[in-house]
Amino acid sequence: MQPEDIVRSGPNQYVCREGIVKELPSFANAFERPVIISGVKSFKAFTRYTTPPADWKVVQHTGCSSLNKIKKAAEEAESADVIIGIGGGTVLDTAKAAADLLNIEVMTIPTIPGTCAASTPLSVIYDDEGNFSGVQYQKRSSYLTLVDPLLLLSSPVAYVKSGIGDTLAKWYEAEAIIRNTADSLSIMVQTGLRQSVYIRDILLTESLKAIESLEKGESSPAFTNVLEAVIALAGTVGGYAGRYGRMAGAHAIHNGLTFIPETHRVLHGQKVAYGILVQLALEGRTDEIAELIPFYEGLGFPRRLSDLGILENIEAAKRIIAAHAARPDESLCLMGSFHEADVIAAIESLE
């Protein structure tokens, strides 16, 4: 049985509450040798908010969640009986994969609501240059995930917007996969699809209010709802729906974009948001594109290649993106049969 055929609903323990991260030491009492894996900026944000015990080792992660970086982090944390990942998606994916290598538990504390990495038992793997490589599934879900809205108020606005873009794709990708399958759907698959609708509605109605709260540095119900949709609910789509709630067209376009050096500065969710538009264009769903444009304008999401920093060698860039997205082992194939020329035509229609 493949990992995507197994229902994995989320973390073993999950708490979202203001101030909860300050109680981390009490949650770690069951372990003797916690080791923190964190990024430079994320650890600064964490220690400005609270102070971890002085005897906890801290492993600083930089760069991508590549196999080499994961192995290095695991080697530095080899004395641990639990790893505590503190940071954004790349850091948390590295922490989860390192814990898997060491066959120990992992706790996750997101410092930005940029992805659902804190609540999913998988890691997105890149090569050392930042190009997408694949997805690695872990044996364990997180032992504990703590989401603290007050800590997350220190998140850069760009990363929060990126999280919204990445999470918005959950509905469009799951719906496309399910619509294009003749399989009889289990109640768990239907649950995952319904979660994706709920997530979409939260994001479309509350994202602008959440960004306003963030810019003011004030917590609000909208901010908490959006960050929980991004961090926790998003993971339940694939967790319940399995292969039917996986990445599809939007992420295939994202993955193709990672092979364009100019886009390496563009955040993951921004590229996925662009991928949603390409996916809709591929299916001829122009009315839905039109409906999304005001939302994209409000959040500054990319709608053209130039918005992604692709200003030169545009024809070559289209071919690179399309060639990768249309590969038979890429997620675009989960929603139908599309060729390189189809993807290029979809990109050109958006231009």
The values of phi and psi at residue 182, to 5°, are: -95, 5
135 is known to lie in a ligand binding site = no
Which sequence spans correspond to the domains of the chain? 3-153, 158-349
CATH number of the domain at 158-349, please?
1.20.1090.10
166 is known to lie in a ligand binding site = yes
242 is known to lie in a ligand binding site = no
254 is known to lie in a ligand binding site = no
Q: What is the pLDDT of residue 323?
A: 96
Cα–Cα distances (Å) from 67 to 20, 84, 254, 267, in that order, read: 32, 19, 20, 21
Q: What is the pLDDT of residue 246?
A: 81
Helical axes 157-179 vs 249-257, angle rounded to 10°:
130
Query: Which pTM value belongs to this model?
Result: 0.89
Between CA 90 and CA 117 the distance in angstroms is 8
90 is known to lie in a ligand binding site = yes
308 is known to lie in a ligand binding site = no
34 versus 235: the higher-pLDDT residue is 34
287 is known to lie in a ligand binding site = no
List pLDDT tens digits, range 263-310.
999 998 999 999 999 999 999 999 999 999 999 999 999 999 999 999
In this prediction, residue 331 has a pLDDT band, given cuts at 50, 70 and 90, of confident
Between CA 118 and CA 110 the distance in angstroms is 6
Fold assignment, 3-153: Rossmann fold (3.40.50)
Q: What is the pLDDT of residue 18?
A: 97
